[in-house]
Structure 1
Amino acid sequence: MQQHTLGRVCRSAMGCAMTRPRATAIGFSAVLLWALLALFTVGSAPVPPLQLNAICFAIGGAIGLAWVLVSGEGRLLRAVPFRVYAFGTASLFGYHLLYFSALRLAPAAEAGLIAYLWPLLIVIFSGLLPGERLRAGHVLGAGLGFAGAAMIVARGGSGFDGEALPGYGLALLCALTWSSYSVISRRLGSTPTASVAIFCLATALLSLPLHLTFEETSWPDDLPGWLSVLGLGLGPVGLAFYVWDIGVKRGDIQLLGTASYAAPLLSTLILVGAGIAAPTPMLFSAAILITGGAALAARASARTRTIRPETGVRSAP
C-alpha cells in the first residue's frame, strides 16, 4: 500500500513538473551519457565483451526495476507482445556485444566513430521505407559519412592497419544493427518505458551462459576499471535508455534527433581529453565528416516531413 502511494505521488510530481523543455533537457542527457560509452568501455578492460554485457545490463535492469516501481508501469508489461521483447533484447544484446568487441580489437576513437554511423544509416534506411523517398541531401550525407569511415580505415592515406580491420568491421556491423533496429521499431508500435528493463535483464541473462561457455572470466585490474564498469551500467547502458524515452515522448523530438548527431564528435573529444586518443587531423576530419553527413541527411528529411517519434533515433547508445 505504501509502495502504491509512493508511486502515485512520484507520478503526480513528475506530471506537474515535466514541461516540454525539461523533458527535452532530460532526453539530451542521454546523448551526453552515450558520448561516454567509448571512454568507459576502454576503461573496463580486460573484462571480455560477453561478461561486460552481463554485468552492465544487470545494473541497467536493476535501474529499470526501480523505474517500474516508481512509475507504476509494471501492469503494462503484460500487454507487450513477446516478439517485441525478443526483438528488443536481441538488438541490445547484439549492438553492445559488437561494440564492446570492436573497441577491444581496434583503436577506440576510430572504431567508435564507425559505430556512430548509425544516426546516418537510420535516416538513409528510413528514406527507403514505403511512402518515403531519398533526396539528394541523403545521398550527399551518406557520401560524407562513409568518406569519414574510409579515412579511418585507410588511416588518412598512410595505409591499412590489418590488425584493426576486424574491429572496424564489427563497428560497422554495430552501426547496421542499431540503425536496423531503430527503423524496424516503427512497425512494432509504442511500448512503455518499463519494457526497457525487461530488455536489459534478458540481455544480462542471455550473456551470462554464453560468457561462461566461450570466454575466460576476467575482472578489472584496478579501481578505475571497476568504476568504468559501474559507469557503463549506470549511464550509457542503463539510465540513458530511460531518460531518452522521456525525451522522445514528452520533449522536442526534432531537437533531440538533431542533438544525437553530435554524439560521435563529443565521444571523440572526450577520448582525446582523457588521453586515450591522439588529437590528429585525420581523427577530427573523420569525426566532422561523419557528424556532418548525418546532420545533412537529417536536414534533407526535415524538408520533406515533420519528424515523428518513430523516426530519427528513438533509443540508441
Structure 2
Amino acid sequence: MKATMIGFSAILMWGMLALLTTLTNKVPPLQLTALTFTIAFVVGLLFWALKGADSSCFRQPMRVWLNGVCGLFGFHLFYFIALKNAPAVDASLISYLWPLFIVIFSALLPREKLHWFHLSGALLGFAGASVIILKGNTLNLKSEYIVGYVAAFICSLIWSAYSVISRKIGNSPTELVGGFCGVTALLSVTCHLLFESTVKLNFSEWLAVIAMGIGPVGAAFFAWDYGVKHGNIKMLGALSYAAPLISTMLLISFGRAEPSLNSAIACLMIVCGAALAALDTIKQYLGLNTIE
C-alpha cells in the first residue's frame, strides 16, 4: 500500500501542472519541456547523490533506456503534436485514455488479473474526467483534425505502455529516471532549436518553470516509477483520473476557472471509480475474502 500511495503522490503533483503552465504564459511547449526536464535531471542527480548510488545504476539494458526515453519524450512530443492539430478539449480527452489502458494492459503482466471492477472503475473515472474536460459540451470529432486525434491516441498508448513495461522490468532502479529526464531534455532542446523561437522568461515565469521541474516534471516521475513497479498498478490507473479533477480545483481556487456543478459530479464519479477499482485491496484490508 505504501508504494501505491507514493505513486498517487505523482498524480497529486500532475494535478498542479495546468496551474503552473498557465503561469508560463507564452513560453513555447518544446522550450518549456527542455527547461523543466533539465531541472528534473538536476533533481535526479540530487536524488542519486542522497541515495549514495554509484554509476552502475545507469548501466542498464538498452530496452530499459528505450522504454524510459520513449515514455517521457514520446508522450510529450505526441501530446504537443495533438494540441497543435486538434482542439485542446478533444486532444486532452483522447490522451486521457492512458489510465484506462494501464488498467487493461496490466492484465498482461505476470500474477496480475483483470476483474470486472477494475475495468468498471477505470471507465467510471474516465467518464468523470470527461465531464471535467468537456465542461458540458459535446465531443465533436471532425475529419480535419485526424492528425491531432491520432497523435493524442498515440500519446495515451505511449504512457500506458511505458508504465506497464516499467512494472515488467521492475528490477531497474528508480534513480535511472533522472537519466531518462536528461536524455529527454537533450532531445527537447534539439527539437526546440529546430522548430521554435526561443522566448526570454521573466522572474515569475522562471519560478513557475522551476516549480514544474521540481514537482510535476521532476519528483512526480520518480514517484510514479516506484509506484507502478511496486504498488497496485490497476488502482493507480484508476486513481490517475484524479489529476484533471485536482487540476480543475486548483484553477478554481486561484481564480483561473469558475466552480460548477460539473466539477462536483466529476468528483463523485472519480472517487467512486477509484474505490471500485480498488475493491480487492479494500476487501483485503478489511479482512474479507479476496476476489478470485
TM-score (norm 2): 0.75
Q: Could you say if the C-alpha distance between residues 232 and 247 of structure 1 is closer, same or farther in structure 2, counting changes exceeding 3 Å?
A: same
Q: CA deviation at 1:237?
A: 0.7
What amino acid maps onto 1:49 in structure 2? P
Match of 1:70 in 2: 50
Shift, 1:128, TM fit: 4.8
> 1:249, 1:136 → 2: CA distance?
23
Q: Does 1:94 align with 2:77?
A: no
Residues 267-294 of structure 1 show CA distances to partners (whole Å, capped at 9, x for unaligned) of: 2211221222222223443454345434
Q: How does 1:83-122 map to 2 (within 5 A)?
A: 83-99=63-79, 115-122=95-102
Residues 132/305 of structure 1: CA separation in 2 closer, same or farther (3 Å cut): farther
Once residues 129 and 239 of structure 2 are traced to their aligned partners in structure 1, the CA distance between those partners, rounded to angstroms, is 21
Alignment correspondent of 1:215: 196
1:52-103 Cα deviation digits (max 9, x unpaired): 1111111110111122223222332243112211210110112234456667
Q: Which residue number corresponds to residue 214 of structure 2? A: 234
Q: Which residue of 1 aligns with 2:62?
A: 82
| Structure-2 residue corresponding to 1:224 | 204
- List alignment gaps of at least 5 residues for structure 1: 1-19, 307-317
Report the CA distance between 1:247 and its aligned residue: 6.4
RMSD: 4.0
- Check whether the contact 1:51–1:217 (CA below 8 A) recurs between aligned residues: yes
Q: In the TM superposition, what are the counterparts of 1:147-162 in structure 2 within 5 Å?
A: 147-148=127-128, 150-151=130-131, 155-157=135-137, 160=140
Residue 38, structure 1, aligned to residue 18, structure 2: yes
**Which position in structure 2 is the counterpart of 1:192?**
173
TM-aligned CA distance change 1:234 to 1:106, over 3 Å: farther
Q: Which amino acid aligns with 1:181?
A: Y
| Aligned residue identity for 1:225 | E
Alpha-carbon distance in structure 2 between the residues aligned to 1:181 and 1:66: 24
User: Aligned pair in 2 of structure 1 residues 37, 303: CA closer, same or farther (>3 Å)?
Assistant: same
- Residue 164 to residue 278, structure 1, CA distance change in 2 (3 Å): farther
Counterparts of 2:75 and 2:271 in 1: how far apart (Å)? 20
Q: What is the letter of the counterpart of residue 64 of structure 1?
A: G
Q: CA deviation at 1:121?
A: 2.8
Alpha-carbon contact 2:24-2:208 (below 8 Å) kept: yes
Residue 59 (structure 1) aligns with: 39
Give the TM-score normalised by the residue count of structure 1. Answer: 0.70
1:1-317 to 2 correspondences below 5 Å: 29-99=9-79, 115-129=95-109, 132-148=112-128, 150-151=130-131, 155-157=135-137, 160=140, 173-220=154-201, 222-244=202-224, 257=236, 262-290=242-270, 292-299=272-279, 302=281
SS at match of 1:73: coil
Letter in 2 for 1:42: T
Equivalent position SS for 2:174: coil
User: Deviation of residue 185 (structure 1)?
Assistant: 2.1
Cα pair distance change 1:152/1:165, threshold 3 Å: farther
- What is the one-letter code of the residue matched to 1:217? T
1-structure distance, mates of 2:147, 2:130: 14
Deviations 1:143-169 (A, max 9, x none): 424434554676525674979998777
Structure 2: stretches of 5+ with no match in the other structure: 286-292
Looking at structure 1, the residues matched to 6 and 167 of structure 2 have their Cα atoms a distance apart, in angstroms, of 23
Residue 15 of structure 2 aligns with an amino acid whose one-letter code is A
Contact kept, 8 Å, 1:117 with 1:145, in 2: the verdict is no
* CA shift in 2, pair 1:201/1:159, >3 Å: closer
Cα 1:298–1:94 change in 2 (3 A) is farther
Which amino acid is 1:188 matched to? I
- Does the C-alpha gap of structure 1 residues 96 and 275 become closer, same or farther in structure 2, counting only changes over 3 Å? farther
Matched to 2:29, the amino acid is: P
| Worse-superposed segment, 90-99 or 131-140 | 131-140
